[in-house]
Amino acid sequence: MSEELIKEYIDVIPNSLLDQVRKHLPAKAKKAEVKKILELLREEFDNMQIEAGECVGLVAAESIGEPGTQMTLNTKHFGGVAELQVTLGLPRLIEIFDGRQNISTPMMEIYLKNPKCSVEEVTKIAGKIKETPLSELAKSFEVNIADATIEVELDKEAVAQAGIRVATIVKRLQTGLKNVNVKNKEDIIFIKVTKEGDELNKLYAVKETSKGVFVSGIKGVTQVLPVKIGEEYVIKTAGSNLKSVLKMDEIDTYKTRTNDIFETCKVLGLEAARQLIIDEALNVLETQGLDINIRHIMLAADTMTVAGEIRGITRYGIVGQKSSVLARASFETPIKHIIAAAERGEIDKLNSVIENVMINQPVPIGTGLPGLRTKEQGKGT
């Protein structure tokens, strides 16, 4: 009964609020009461609407910028392990709004399809994800000078934990090293150097490089850490490679996320990247104990992504691409912009704020927006 009433308001009140009504409404609410609630809600909602001409951009910039002065600089949060530290605080916020391609601490949170699986299973999956060099899987490296081979004895347990077959290791080694022939006899791998000449030195060089060859795991993931969040196991990683991780069968592809905005954009698309900007910025502010409304961050994220790609808030990004010459010149490198504008014969239409400030005219925002049309005295009819 009340549901029908609620449905009537679907066009005037946003869904999130109507859901709240459904949630809080007592089961035995009378029809008149429901009606009254909805009317009150609508009235309040209408009263809260933003007014036309409001300079929301500046308000958002202020709301994000002002608490920046209260943030701490050297915050690194340890996600359990020393290697798994995450940049937080002001540096991270700057990184997000810069739209940097390479972030300082890429990180993933990998959710599993079967969240209630055993510890062993989680460690197994984690082992599969972690990028492992040969040295971590081997018990010993021996150099056989006579045959010009290197004999690598594998650690059975480690290999099992990484969830990899010996044949795969051989294959990876073959592609990872140059001028070698790789064979295996059960757990021992023979690396034969094929190229002639200065063999001994070469042999030792190959031995060293072979230690560093990544034989298992996903590229870029340097650390893995299974964490129990509530009832669920989540694998946190240092280093990020969303594309490869999403291909794994054991992974919950809906919830798994990275903190690399560009990577998200490439793998999941721009809308996902926008959402990530919002989530990450909000997360930084929250961990600093700052309360900022999501609308401001949403607006910043939207300005960064309107162009169909991620543009940072830098002199090359959004500000550098403004249509007004004077607006660009007022930010950074003014001479470059003015010269380029002169070459192109650009026209500044004086549409935005800063140019009008420069030439002492009312700015086209808020009360500067409405004009008064009037006849000059003595002129016209």
Binding status of residue 248 toward another protein by CB under 8 A:
no
Binding status of residue 120 toward another protein by CB under 8 A:
no
Please return the burial class of 272, using the count of CB atoms within 10 Å of its CB with bins 0-12, 13-18 and 19+: middle
Instruction: Figure out which of the listed residues 4, 51, 120, 249 binds another protein, where binding follows CB under 8 A.
Output: 51
CA distance 178 to 185: 21
Nearer to another protein, 83 or 157 (CB): 83
CB 182, min distance to another protein, A = 33
Which of helix, strand or coil describes residue 25? coil
Are 176 and 133 in contact by the 8 Å Cβ rule? The answer is: no
Binding status of residue 361 toward another protein by CB under 8 A:
yes
Nearer to another protein, 188 or 341 (CB): 341
What distances in angstroms separate CA 219 from CA 177, 270, 372, one per listed residue? 17, 24, 64
CA distance 197 to 195: 7
Which span sits near another protein by CB under 8 A: 55-63, 159-167, 258-266, 271-279?
55-63
- What does DSSP assign to residue 291? -
Instruction: Figure out which of the listed residues 5, 37, 117, 248 binds another protein, where binding follows CB under 8 A.
Output: 37
- Residues 297 to 316 in contact with another protein, rule: CB under 8 A: 298-300, 302-303, 306, 313-314
Binding status of residue 365 toward another protein by CB under 8 A:
yes
Please, which residues have CB within 8 angstroms of residue 339's CB and are 6 or more apart in sequence?
A: none
Which span sits near another protein by CB under 8 A: 193-201, 211-219, 246-254, 352-360?
352-360
Residue type, 201: N
Which span sits near another protein by CB under 8 A: 81-89, 147-155, 157-165, 189-197?
81-89
Instruction: Figure out which of the listed residues 33, 142, 147, 199 binds another protein, where binding follows CB under 8 A.
Output: 33
Give 256's strand partners: none
Instruction: Figure out which of the listed residues 11, 24, 231, 377 binds another protein, where binding follows CB under 8 A.
Output: 24
Instruction: Figure out which of the listed residues 4, 196, 198, 376 binds another protein, where binding follows CB under 8 A.
Output: 376
Nearer to another protein, 169 or 238 (CB): 238
Binding status of residue 358 toward another protein by CB under 8 A:
yes
Q: Which helix (H) or strand (E) holds 258?
A: strand 257-258
Name the nearest CA neighbour of 71 among 312, 284, 278, 279: 284
Binding status of residue 270 toward another protein by CB under 8 A:
no
CA distance 288 to 124: 35
Question: Residues in contact with another protein, total (CB under 8 A)?
Answer: 119
In which residue are the tokens 């995450």 written?
A: 86
Are 248 and 113 in contact by the 8 Å Cβ rule? The answer is: no
Per-residue contact flags (x/-) with another protein for residues 281 to 300, judged by CB under 8 A: ----------xxxxxx-xxx
Instruction: Figure out which of the listed residues 65, 160, 178, 181 binds another protein, where binding follows CB under 8 A.
Output: 65
- Residues 137 to 176 in contact with another protein, rule: CB under 8 A: none
Binding status of residue 76 toward another protein by CB under 8 A:
yes
Binding status of residue 272 toward another protein by CB under 8 A:
no
CA distance 313 to 305: 11
Binding status of residue 10 toward another protein by CB under 8 A:
no
Instruction: Figure out which of the listed residues 6, 86, 97, 262 binds another protein, where binding follows CB under 8 A.
Output: 97
CB 247, min distance to another protein, A = 26
Name the nearest CA neighbour of 129 among 104, 110, 106: 110
What distances in angstroms separate CA 357 from CA 132, 341, 352, one per listed residue? 59, 20, 9
β 149-154/138-144 pair status:
antiparallel
Nearer to another protein, 44 or 142 (CB): 44
Binding status of residue 74 toward another protein by CB under 8 A:
yes
Please, which residues have CB within 8 angstroms of residue 322's CB and are 6 or more apart in sequence?
A: 328, 352
CB 37, min distance to another protein, A = 5
